[in-house]
Amino acid sequence: MTGITSVTSAKHLLPLAVEQKSADVTDWAARLGWVVGLLLFIALVYWLMRQGWKWRGALQSALPELPTAPETTGPAVLPVLVGRYHGSTTAGQWLDRIVAHGLGSRSRVELTLTDAGLDVVRPGADDFFVPADQLREARLDKGIAGKVLAEGGLLVVTWEHGGTLLDSGFRSDRSADHPAWVEAINSMNHLITTEGPAR
């Protein structure tokens, strides 16, 4: 009786074993098609982003070339700020990114503030200089053109270039430095406004 039961159980288990061993054959052609399609979609999105960047640059082509630092700028008002440049926008419009003349490229930065103005040195990107009489104000903020930080984590400098007011966002490696920069730039702007640019 036990032998009959064992044979019967074995007959029932045999189809299960066969079913477990058999698996669907992978359709490599379909998978390859999906991968190629995905890669083409990513390439299309990247191309559209580049075209949008170029189109925005063309719209902003009226913006003049960025000024460069004069040979002599005088002593620094504050220790050099080392950190990151996060981009520039039209003043007061934190999503309206400026890309002309390399202002849209994020990079490392070294800021030096003197009586002559603000020297912006960017390794791997174009440097520029903001003359003192074009500085308008500085403030602490939390975001600019695709970069959002903690409240007060961004030093935003407002300056005039070619008749357009721009906001440029910087973040020091030591965020405790930001308030001193805000005070120094705003004090400089006040002196220029009331006494005129230094000769």
Per-residue pLDDT of the chain (199 residues; tens, 9 = 90+): 554 455 455 555 445 455 555 555 567 777 787 888 888 778 777 666 665 555 555 555 678 899 988 888 889 999 999 999 999 999 988 888 888 888 888 999 999 999 999 999 999 889 999 999 999 999 999 888 777 787 788 999 999 998 899 999 999 999 899 999 999 999 987 655 545 544 3
Side-chain half-sphere CA neighbours of 176 within 13 A: 1
Pick the CATH number of 81-195 from 1.10.510.10, 2.30.29.30, 2.60.15.10, 3.30.360.10: 2.30.29.30
Q: How many residues does the structure list for the chain?
A: 199
Indicate the pTM of the whole model. 0.68
Residue 84's region, left for phi above 0, alpha for psi from -120 to 50, else beta, is: beta
From residue 82, how far is each of 78, 121, 157 by CA, in Å? 12, 10, 15
Tokens of 102: 């390399």
Distance CA 88, CA 95 (A): 9
Residue 186: per-residue pLDDT: 94
Beta bridge partners of 109: 83
Q: Calculate Rg over the CA atoms of the chain.
A: 30
**Which amino acid is present at 147?**
K
Residues 6+ apart with CB under 8 A from 166: 88, 89, 90, 91, 98, 103, 158, 159, 160
Tokens of 128: 């520029």
Please count the other Cβ atoms lying within 10 Å of the Cβ belonging to residue 132: 20
